[in-house]
Structure 1
């Protein structure tokens, strides 16, 4: 079931956020993600966050900022490749006519996922903090 985040469960989604970032971005130091943890936890409630919950357990979530920017899509590693990410993207497409995001070029699995869902690469640039190449991608309602 997809619903908006109950803020009392923020620790559950932060656990998914940290673990997934470390695994998906093995080309970036684990310490980088750990250093961002407190900041993300603080600003996350300012976003619209949809969670995918089953049997009382959060299995994934997506955060939307400024009514169009996907700040992150994270699925618990044991539930990846089960359609949860696709369900969360589909839910967002019901609410927002334009969706944008930035994704690391080396995160091939994510780039492929977003392309499968109709996102197109708009531009390529270097991330100021990590110095890694990122793609800015966009999806627009047709």
Structure 2
């Protein structure tokens, strides 16, 4: 079931955020994610966050900033490749006429996932913090 994040469950979401980032971005130092944990935890409540919850367990979530920017889409490592990410993206497409995001070019699984969902690469640039190449992608209704 997809619903808005309850602030009382922010630690569950952050656990997914940390584990999924470390797994998906082995080309970025693990310490980078650990160092940014508190910043993201404080910023998350200012975003529109939808969670996929099943039997009281949060299995994934998506965060939207400024009614169009996907700040992150993360699925718990044991539930990846089960369609949860697709369900969250499709739900957002019903709510927002345009969706934008940045994704590391080396994260081919994510790049291909977004392409399958109709996102187009608009620009390639260097991530300010990590110096890694990333794509800016967009989907429009």
**TM-score higher than 0.5:** yes
Aligned to 1:80: 80
Query: Which runs of 5 or more structure 1 residues have no equivalent in the other structure?
Result: none
Q: How far apart are the structure 2 equivalents of 1:71 and 1:131?
A: 18
Q: How far apart are the structure 2 equivalents of 1:86 and 1:137?
A: 16
Aligned to 1:29: 29
TM-score between both structures, scaled by the size of structure 2? 1.00
Aligned to 1:119: 119
SS of the aligned residue for 1:118 comes to: coil
Q: How far apart are the structure 1 equivalents of 2:44 and 2:96?
A: 19
Aligned to 1:56: 56
Aligned to 1:45: 45
Query: Which runs of 5 or more structure 2 residues have no equivalent in the other structure?
Result: none
Aligned to 2:136: 136
TM-score between both structures, scaled by the size of structure 1? 0.99
Q: How far apart are the structure 2 equivalents of 1:126 and 1:38?
A: 24
Aligned to 2:110: 110
Corresponding residue pairs, total: 141
Q: How far apart are the structure 2 equivalents of 1:132 and 1:43?
A: 23
SS of the aligned residue for 2:27 comes to: coil
Q: How far apart are the structure 2 equivalents of 1:18 and 1:38?
A: 11
Q: What's the Cα RMSD here? A: 0.3
Structure 1 stretches of 4+ with a deviation exceeding 3 A read none
SS of the aligned residue for 2:28 comes to: coil
- State whether structure 2 residue 49 is matched by structure 1 residue 18: no
Q: How far apart are the structure 1 equivalents of 2:75 and 2:128?
A: 26
**Shift of the alpha carbon at 1:128?**
1.0
SS of the aligned residue for 1:131 comes to: coil
